[in-house]
Structure formats: structure tokens, C-alpha cells
Structure 1
Amino acid sequence: MLDAAVRYAEERHWDVCPGTWLEAVEGAERCSCGDTGCAAPGAHPSGPDWAGRATGSGAAARRMWSRRPKASILLPTGHAFDTIDVPESAGFMALARMERMGLPLGPVTHSPDRRVHFFVLPGAAAKSEGLVRKLGWQAAAIDLTARGEGAYVTGPPTRIGGYGTVQWVRRPTAANRWLPDAEELISPLAYACAREAADTRDRSR
């Protein structure tokens, strides 16, 4: 966790913030927040002031994770990047299509809650709803979400309780340092989400 957090700060110039972590309690793992019903055990902010504790300094990140080596890695959105989050099946469908089309892509993560997160330029959260509406859909209806200022994504290799580990689908590399704008990805993402939503409705009938 320490190495990953330092790498994000030093190599990508991303802000990082330590979140909660998993603790062994009576033979079971529980979130450090103490809530036995925690929805994201070991992988959420440890307090309301979490954003103010985020740092883009590799040295500061090293100090933070040296004190809490098991702390999850939170990557604040709205500064270096926003994310567009879609359901797992729609995300992989859209990713395959975008690769065939040769569209520029940034890093992409897959989380244990079966969501795929596409890293894009900041500002996506403010305009994604309008972009989806122009294509004829409502973002909420097709389960497409954008995260910007005040939000975060969980960075690999954070483990979320017994659900699994956040993983890179497309790792951060020198080749994808320059992130795409939301406009470049929104059409294939919205199409895949709308198709998945329609398939889900059909299966429920």
C-alpha cells in the first residue's frame, strides 16, 4: 500500500489520502471505523476532513502510510482527474469497443462492487449529465455516474473487506499520462450502459 500510494503521488502527481483499514477482531476482519455493518469495510474515508488530509507529496505519503501501513488508498477526484463509473459488463463492453476505435484512454480500474472507473480530465462530473442527455438518455436511468470535486475513487491494491481487491484494468503508464476528455468517451459508455439497462429489464420480465 505504501509503495502504491507513493508511486501515485510521485509518478502521476495525484493526490492520495489514507482511508480506513481492515482489523482482525475475534478471528474476523472488520473495518477500522468500528461499524460491523460497514458497506465498504477498510476502504472509505476515516473522517469528514479526509479531503484536507490528501497530499500530492511522495514524502508525505510515505510518512502517512508508514504510520498506517494497512490504510486504504483514496484518490480524490476533481483535481488531477474525474472518473466516469459504469456497471462491470457495460464497462468492459465499452472498453473493447473504444480500443477497436482507437480512442485515447486513460487508466481504468475495476472495483469489487462490479463497477468500472474510467479516468478522464477534470470537469467530467459537471457536464456528463448534459452529454448523456444529448444522446437521448438520462445518466441515472442507465447507471452512468461521474465523480468530481469532493468525491474519490479507491486506488489499487486496496482490498474491500471480503469482497475483493480494486484492480487496474488499464494501468497508469507514460502512454496514458494525458487523459481523455469526457466528450471522447461518453458515447460508447452511454451506449453500453443503455444496452445493459435494456437487457436487465428484459431479463426481469
Structure 2
Amino acid sequence: MSAENGGGTRRQGRLTQWLRGRRPKETADTGGREALLLAAARAGLPLAPAAHPAPGHICSCDRVGCPTPARHPVSFAWQTQSTTDRAQIERWARHQPQANFITATGMVHDVLDVPLEAGAEALENLLSAGVEVGPVAESDDGRMLFFTLTRGTPEDEDEWWPCELDSHPETADEHPGMRWHCRGSYVLVPPARLPGDDGRQVRWLRGPEHRLPDPLTLLEALTDACSRHAGTQPDHAASVWPLRH
């Protein structure tokens, strides 16, 4: 048992070192933030303003006991508000310099959201195998986000399922550790700040200049990695599920 644990620890250490080695440097100034947001919009990711950390490790929104501090849109109309329009995003970024931004999924892109260690393992394996991997973001709350093409709008609306069903705890055995953000969901888009004094962020590992892949080309590697890491990761569900007002 100790040998297995030691091997697992060494492997996680190698994955962590590999992950840090691939992490790009991001500028923290306002111009750098705006440039990253506009790059995401040029890639087709629809954006909308989100809450941000406030003093006291709380959320900038006025909701008492906000369940997803600094991780949710500021408007109830975020799905229709989300846009790739450069002028609008510039106005938001300049008039709300502290705001995070979300990107609405299920319009142009989906997001496969997995535990960090599982994501690092899968990403290394996918790149080593020459698989086309699109944009990938790392969140300091222990998640990795793989941006893919959306599943598309089928002719038969019954083929759709809400994102909440993908993320529901009752499906954890079928999809260990993975959440598939599709229509009706959103994720924070880099650069974003998370609550806390330790400078936690959401940052790009692979930027939005990478082409969005078909999600099915990544799914097997991600599912396998999540299965291997099942039970070893903390539950961050409350911090990433879409906030329902």
C-alpha cells in the first residue's frame, strides 16, 4: 500500500511540475486583462460581466450568503446579454475594472470541467498522442476547463439535456469528477480572480487562439483520468455549478 501511495505521490508531483512548466505568464494590468477578454471574444466565446471578490472574502453582489462568490454573472439576463461584440466588451471592461467575466456555454462552445490533477494527466496524454486540444484554463480552486465545440443545436429538441443533469450528484458514478457545461451553463473566463488572500485566479494554460476541438475527441482521455483520480479530489461542486437566482 505504501509503495502504491508513494508512486501516486511521485506521479502527482511530476504532473504538478509539468503543469507549472506549461503555465503562461499573464499580465495583471488593466490593458492585459482587456486584451485577454477581447482575444476570447475573437475566438467566438460570448462574454458577460460577473461578480468579483470583495473585502472580507465575500462576493461583490448584494446576496447574503452568496453560494458562488465571484463566480456568477451579475445580470439575470446573462444568456441573452453574452456577446462577442468588441465595443461592448471594451465598455464593460473599462467601466467595471474589478469585474470577472463569464462565458455562456452551449452557444458556440462547451466546457469539460474536471479535477485539476485528472485534467493535467489527460492533457499531457492528449498532447503526447498528437490530439488537437483547444483552449484550456486552470482554476486555483482545483479545476481544469477544456473548451470544445458545442454539441450543436439538434433538430430534435428532445436530444438536449440541461447542464444541471450532467452535473447532478446522482450521476457522479457515471461521470466521476466531470461536469459537461453545455446549454444553460457558464464558466469563468480568464483572467478571473477568486476569493481569498492568496491571489487565486483562473488563467489560461492554452489560450483561445487554439481551435475548439470536437468534445468527443477529448472525452475518453478525460473520463479515464477522472476515474483514476476519483475519490482523491475535494468536492468543488458548490463553487462551479451555475448559480440559480
Band the TM-score falls in, shorter-chain normalisation: 0.7 to 0.9
Identity, % of aligned pairs?
31
| CA separation of 1:152 and 1:198: change in aligned 2, threshold 3 A | closer
Counterpart of 2:69 in 1: which secondary structure?
Answer: coil
**Which amino acid is 2:97 matched to?**
P
- Which residue of 2 is the match for residue 156 of structure 1? 190
Q: TM-score, normalised by structure 2?
A: 0.68
Q: Is 1:77–1:147's contact at 8 Å kept on the other side of the alignment?
A: yes
Unaligned runs of 5+ in 2: 1-32, 153-158, 167-172, 234-245
Matched residue SS, 1:166:
strand
Please name the residue that 2:218 is paired with. Answer: 185
**Structure 2 counterpart of 1:6:** 38
The structural deviation recorded for 1:112 is 2.1
The match for 2:73 is 45
Whole-Å Cα distance in 2 between the matches of residues 13 and 57 of structure 1? 10
Q: What TM-score do the two structures reach when normalised by structure 1?
A: 0.80
Instruction: Tell me by how many angstroms 1:172 deviates.
Output: 2.1
Deviation at 1:42, TM superposition (A): 2.3
Residue by residue, what CA displacement relative to the aligned partner does 1:3-55 show, whole Å, maximum 9, x if unpaired? 3222322x31321101112334xxx3532113464343323111321222111
Query: How many residues are aligned here?
Result: 185
CA contact (8 A) 2:73 2:101 kept: no
- Residue 16 of structure 1: aligned partner: 47
Q: Is the 8 A contact 2:53 2:70 kept in 1?
A: yes
Partner of 1:195: 228
User: Offset at 1:198?
Assistant: 6.2
Gaps of 5+ in 1: 131-136, 201-205
How far, CA to CA, are the matches of 2:84 and 2:107 in structure 1? 11
> Given residue 157 of structure 1, which amino acid in structure 2 is its aligned partner?
P
Tell whether 2:61 aligns with 1:61.
no
Change beyond 3 A, Cα 1:34–1:101 = same
Distance 1:85 1:14 in 2: 16
Q: In structure 2, what residue type is equivalent to 1:171?
A: G
Note the C-alpha offset of 1:115. 0.8
Q: CA RMSD in A?
A: 2.6
Which residue in the other structure is 2:181 paired with? Answer: 147
